Amino acid sequence: MTKRKTIAAGAVLTAALLTLAFTGTASGANTVRSSDIVNRTIVEVDVKQNSLTGLNIKNGSINGGDIRQGAITTDQIKAGTISEQDLDKELQSKLNPGPADTGFEADGPYPGETDLGKLEDQGDNSDELVKGDEGKSAQTVWVQCAPKKVAIGGGFHLAADASLTAKKNLHVTASEPAQVRESELLTNPEKIPGDAADSFQPNAWRVDVINEGSDDVVVRPWVVCVYGG
C-alpha cells in the first residue's frame, strides 16, 4: 500500500511539473529583465513598428553616427527647439542662411572696359558702349549672374562717369530680368516646364536704351544674384 501511494504521489508531482513547464503560472508573468537577454541580440524585427517613443530613448544618447545621412531635413526640426550651440556651422547656415551662404551678390560691369566672361567663376556681360547715333536705334546692355546663380533684381547707371549732357541724351525703355546662354542674350527666354504663366528663371538683367546724343557712353547694367536652380 505504501509503495502504491508513493508511485501515485510521484505521478501527481510529475504531472504538476509538466503543467507548470508548459503553462506557467501567474507568478511567472513580467519576470523577463534586461539581465535575461544576451547583449546585442535584439534586432529591428524584434521591435514593433512605431512602438518606441522619445521617452524610451536616453537623453543625449543619440549622436550623428546614429542618423542616416539625409534622413532629417530642416522641415522636420521644430522652430526654437535647437539652440545655435547644438548646431554645427554647416547646419546653421542652412537653417539661417546669411549673404555668403545664399551667394548673394551684385555685379555691375562697365561694358567696353569690364569683361566678366574672362574671369573665373563669374558670369558675363555685353561688351559694347551705347553708341551716339542721335536716337536712331534702341540698344541693349546686359549682365549675367555667376554660374549656379539666378537674378532677383537689377538696375542701371546711365552714362557712368560721363557729363550731365550725356546723361540727358539717354532714355531707358526697358530694365528687366533676362536669360543669357553661352554669352548670348535670349530674346525668347526658356520657360519653366509646366508653368501656366510661361514664367522663366532669370540669370541676367537687361537694359534697353536710346541715345539721342552723338557721343558713345557707358550704360552700366546691374544684377543682384543668389544661388538658385
pLDDT at 91 over 80: no
Summarize pLDDT for 25-76 with one digit per residue, the tens.
555 566 777 777 888 788 777 788 887 887 778 887 787 677 777 677 766 6
The more confidently predicted of residues 148 and 52 is 148
Strands (E), the chain: 105-107, 138-144, 149-157, 170-178, 180-181, 184-185, 204-211, 220-227
Cα atoms in the 13 Å half-sphere on the side-chain side of 184? 7
Strand-strand pairing, 204-211 and 220-227: unpaired
pLDDT level of residue 160 (50, 70, 90 thresholds): confident
| Backbone φ/ψ region at 203: left (φ over 0), alpha (ψ -120 to 50), beta | alpha
Measured between its terminal Cα atoms, the distance across the chain in Å is 99
pLDDT level of residue 13 (50, 70, 90 thresholds): very low
pTM above 0.75, yes or no: no
79's CB contacts (< 8 A; 6+ apart) are none
Tell me the sheet residues that pair with 149.
Answer: 227
Tell me the domain boundaries of the chain. 105-227
CB-based contact 156:173 (threshold 8 Å): no
Summarize pLDDT for 169-220 with one digit per residue, the tens.
999 999 999 999 999 999 999 999 999 999 999 999 999 999 999 999 999 9
Strands (E), 82-189: 105-107, 138-144, 149-157, 170-178, 180-181, 184-185
The more confidently predicted of residues 153 and 103 is 153
Mean pLDDT of 160-164: 88
Retrieve residue 139's grid coordinates.
540698344
Averaged pLDDT of the chain = 83
